[in-house]
Amino acid sequence: MKTEKTCKFSNPGEINAWLRDKTPLQIAEETAHLDPTQQEAIFRQINRELSLNIFKQLNVAQQERMLSIAEREHAVFLVEELDPDDRARLFNELSAEVVDGYLAELSPEERRLTNQLLSYPVESAGRIMSPEFLALHPAMTLVEALDYIRKNGRKAETVHTLPVTDEQNRLIGLCELSDLVLGAPERQVAEIMHKDPHAVKPGADQEEVARLLQAADMLAVPVVDEDGLLLGIVTIDDAMDVLTLEEGEDLARAGGAEPLGRPYFSVSDFRLAKSRVLWLVVLIFAATLTVQVLNLFESTLETVVSLALFIPLLIGTGGNAGAQSSTTIVRSMAVGDVQPSDFVRTILREARVGFLLGAMLGLLSYLPVSLYAGHALALVVSLTLVSICTLASVVGSVMPLAARFLGVDPAVASAPFVTTIVDATGLLVYFLIAKAVLNL
């Protein structure tokens, strides 16, 4: 049953009927579309165990809401029962005063684990790793390893991928649960473990760690310190959360806005406007370049008025070509296909692609423009399309690469910004070609 924002509950019986046969994930997804009053009615109706299962499925903004309407004892229970990495993610979004309050009421062990994660930089592997893991010893037989997992595995983040450590807790290998289950019982862990496993430092960027898990097709990657001592593991579910967040930020910036970092309906109208206004102001000032170019060639326009007819077509095409190039390169950089060391190679490739695009569009436009405005102006438009598409593709590729070189998020070199620059430079190219071809 799909629940819409208009769904209303007038009594506890209706809520119980609505909750019946729903999984915690379904309840979490559907309550996200209800108004706060209805959410509060539902959360007050469910028992502690169900509320915890739902709480774990909510995003951070919804978790904040649930904590705000829960009794203090219940709220502390919910925070206490989160995995340390999920708790640290929640605390990232809460005020320092609120975080201190919850930390003071956590059990000593959970407080220690949480403080350990919070000591690492935001958006680092250390902040998203789980310090709750099972480590095997290489001398264990597979029977002993499986028995150890049965006895101790409930508190671990995952038992599908298990690190193997020596007596000093140094990482020496990784073992998959499937290898333990399918291997001969008398064999030792050392015989089946994967030696020289991938591992990351706690200060590594979380997106790079997530990309590693994705590229290596791993379920978990160990986090080790400078001496190789095992600190924790980053699991695939946390990696997917990171990639979703990072891709959302890239999409926002590619559209000329700052990322919200929260679900759309959980932020105010003012915050939505605030996330967009900065880039609009920047683009307004950048657009003055276009005005200056038009002013510079005012006499040319007065001489050949029909030149003005094709300005929207040309700057629109150039802007779109630049946006295509920029978006492609930002995406390729995000997944590791393009590196800063590929600067020259990428620019040359985009220049060739832009030239081919311009040539195709120029050929397609020549006949209709010549029938409407004559062969001379058709030649101007066709040559401009070749030039402007080449220029736009180069600009669209240079800006993300330059941004990465300067230590700025490549998505900041967003499509609207590229489009604005190409508008001004494209007009300049158009009028210079017109002056040359038409002898103005």
With a CB cutoff of 8 Å and minimum separation 6, the contacts of 364 are none
pLDDT at 261: 63
pLDDT at 287: 67
Place of tokens 């970092």: 261
Is the distance from CB of 158 to CB of 234 less than 8 angstroms?
A: no
Cα gap 123→325, rounded to integer Å: 28
pLDDT at 3: 41
More reliable by pLDDT, 258 or 45: 45
pLDDT at 2: 43
Asked whether residue 384 carries a pLDDT value surpassing 80, the answer given is yes
What is the biggest distance separating any 2 CA atoms in the chain, rounded to whole angstroms?
A: 92
Number of Cβ atoms within 10 Å of the Cβ of 279: 20
Cα gap 261→60, rounded to integer Å: 10
Give the closest residue to 123 by CA, choosing from 199, 237, 224, 204. Answer: 204
Cα gap 245→263, rounded to integer Å: 11
DSSP 243-266: HHHHHHHHHHHHTTS---SS-GGG
pLDDT at 342: 86
| Listed range (215-224, 235-244, 293-302, 326-335) with the worst mean pLDDT | 293-302
Mean pLDDT of 71-98: 90
Asked whether residue 230 carries a pLDDT value surpassing 90, the answer given is yes
Confidence of residue 383 (pLDDT cuts 50, 70, 90): very high
How much of the chain, in percent, has pLDDT values that exceed 90? Answer: 36
Number of Cβ atoms within 10 Å of the Cβ of 164: 24
For domain 142-244, which CATH number applies: 3.30.470.10, 3.40.50.410, 3.40.50.1370, 3.10.580.10? 3.10.580.10
Which phi and psi (to 5°) does residue 160 adopt?
-75, -35
Element (H, E) at 165: strand 161-165
Task: List the helix and strand counts (H, then E) for the chain.
Answer: 21, 5
Confidence of residue 15 (pLDDT cuts 50, 70, 90): confident
Which phi and psi (to 5°) does residue 173 adopt?
180, 175
Place of tokens 């407080």: 111
Asked whether residue 5 carries a pLDDT value surpassing 50, the answer given is no
Cα dihedral sign, 258-261-265-267: negative
For domain 268-437, which CATH number applies: 1.10.3470.10, 3.40.630.10, 1.10.357.20, 3.40.470.10? 1.10.357.20
Give the domain 12-123 fold.
MgtE N-terminal fold (1.25.60)
**What is the average pLDDT score of the chain?**
84
Is the distance from CB of 279 to CB of 417 less than 8 angstroms?
A: yes
Q: In the structure encoding, which two tokens stand for residue 63, read together?
A: 């978790």
More reliable by pLDDT, 275 or 120: 120
With a CB cutoff of 8 Å and minimum separation 6, the contacts of 127 are 85, 88, 89, 92, 117, 118, 120, 121, 206
End-to-end CA separation in angstroms for the chain = 70
Is the distance from CB of 110 to CB of 81 less than 8 angstroms?
A: no
pTM of the model: 0.66
Return the bridge partners of 223, or none. 200, 232
Q: 372-377: long-range contacts at Cβ-Cβ below 8 A with a sequence spacing of 24 or more?
A: 373/306, 373/309, 376/437, 376/438, 377/304, 377/306, 377/307, 377/310, 377/438
Asked whether residue 348 carries a pLDDT value surpassing 90, the answer given is yes
Report domain extents, the chain: 12-123, 142-244, 268-437
